[in-house]
A and B are shown apart, each in its own frame.
Chain A
């Protein structure tokens, strides 16, 4: 990661968003921003989400990547947003047994990591609702 990439991407990482296809109306997760998987259109618009979601799958990481060393163990989840999108989620620090499947959560902003050039990325983490 670099400060050049930071300028492009850092702010949008702080807000839960998806992309709505302007042709067929389907809402896609944030990584499907170029082409609508439903109708093939390239006409998509960024759509901010409420930040409320439910836990679908939950797990704990014990062997993290380099930039997260020292934070383990930490909670990760697959969640379903209030708008029906499936996406991945990192929880704020909490006791590992705090959340179960189907629990309600909501998004907030925390430090996520520090990039290779010392640029601090703030991003979405989830807390108990």
Chain B
């Protein structure tokens, strides 16, 4: 292994919205999540990415050669985000890359960072995954969008080594998509669930079957939909491997950041010698990595802080989710 995780950070807003609150608005609650995380009006994917990364970056005085921002919810449809984030973090003279288009972007960003660090082309790459929900009316019932960000410093040394498996882009399918010029996010729940089942089945087979999964302490995944948990036992993944690294239950669908937050939860609980399987997923495609923990990282005690939050009422939720300034 030539690329390692040197440091990591997570930021999730403290606001939490319950299924009951969503139901009081739409007559139907969150899709299988207890709560979702709610940002304040003055937060967005860039500010949350900043919060996730700032401590790690400060420790190394901003000495980063590239910053890769993985997000599908930039404040702009047409303007760069990574270079602005670099300025916020006081990172100078770094390549600034924006990756998006699907929730696979976070796994792809980690892969790209590993390639850049491999062979010493670059010393350090900062990967930030961040999502800021901007739902159309009613999407909460189907997706349960949440807000949050995770950041990883990928470098030539660190507490955990990255080893990427072959990606699987074979399936070409529409399950959740949005056309340019359309406001509405389109989806078919049938393909959304079946694609995941098919992709996971194929993936597990490619590893050598369910037996091959036993060596992994944790399976940190883009587990963005609670219905996908039905696929998990059949894929050979145990509750011990996934339950404690599944943030969607209390944060909701955090897009690209789900994988990052779940990886961070796994690091928090890992000891030297553990191997974590990270699975990025979207549209029936998978980008995966084995992460071998060499030494226990700093424990951010994320599980406790992420599950606790401040319950938000309907008026605050409506304002934040739809950016309607109520008291005007």
Contact = CB atoms under 8 A, between A and B. Distances in A.
Interface of A: 11, 14-15, 69-72, 92-93, 108-112, 120, 122, 125
Interface in B48-101: 50-51, 54, 75, 84, 87-88, 90
Contacts of A11: 87
Nearest to B50: A109
Given A11-B87, A14-B87, A14-B88, A70 B40 contact: no
Contacts of B211: none
Interface string B292-328: 0000000000000000000000000001000011111
B254 to A, nearest CB: 19
A87 to B, nearest CB: 19
A60 to B, nearest CB: 13
Given A110-B43, A111-B43, A70 B324 contact: yes
B240 interface: no
Most buried by A among B41, B42, B43, B88: B42
A122 B325 contact: no
B88 A70 contact: no
Given A11-B87, A109-B88, A120-B75, A70 B47 contact: no
Contacts of B223: none
Range class of the B interface residue count: 20 to 34
Contact of A122 (B47, B327, B328): B47
B315 to A, nearest CB: 11
B46 interface: yes
B326 to A, nearest CB: 6
B47 A110 contact: yes
A93 B41 contact: yes
Contact of B88 (A69, A72, A92, A122): A122
Contact of B327 (A69, A93, A110): A69
Contacts of B326: 70
Contacts, number: 45
B140 interface: no
A70 B319 contact: yes
B325 A92 contact: no
Contact of B42 (A15, A69, A112): A112
7 contacts: A14-B87, A15-B90, A70-B326, A92-B40, A108-B50, A108-B54, A111-B44
User: What 10 A-B pairs have minimum CB-CB distances, sorted nearest first?
Assistant: A70-B325, A69-B328, A110-B42, A93-B40, A111-B42, A70-B328, A109-B88, A69-B325, A109-B50, A110-B47
A120 B42 CA distance: 11
Contacts of A112: 42
Given A11-B87, A14-B87, A14-B88, A109 B328 contact: no
Given A111-B47, A122-B88, 8 more contacts: A14-B88, A15-B90, A70-B41, A70-B324, A70-B326, A92-B42, A108-B50, A125-B42
B40 A109 contact: no
A109 B41 contact: no
A70 B327 contact: yes
B44 A108 contact: no
Nearest to A113: B42
Contacts of A110: 40, 42-43, 47
Contacts of A71: 41-42, 325
B92 to A, nearest CB: 12
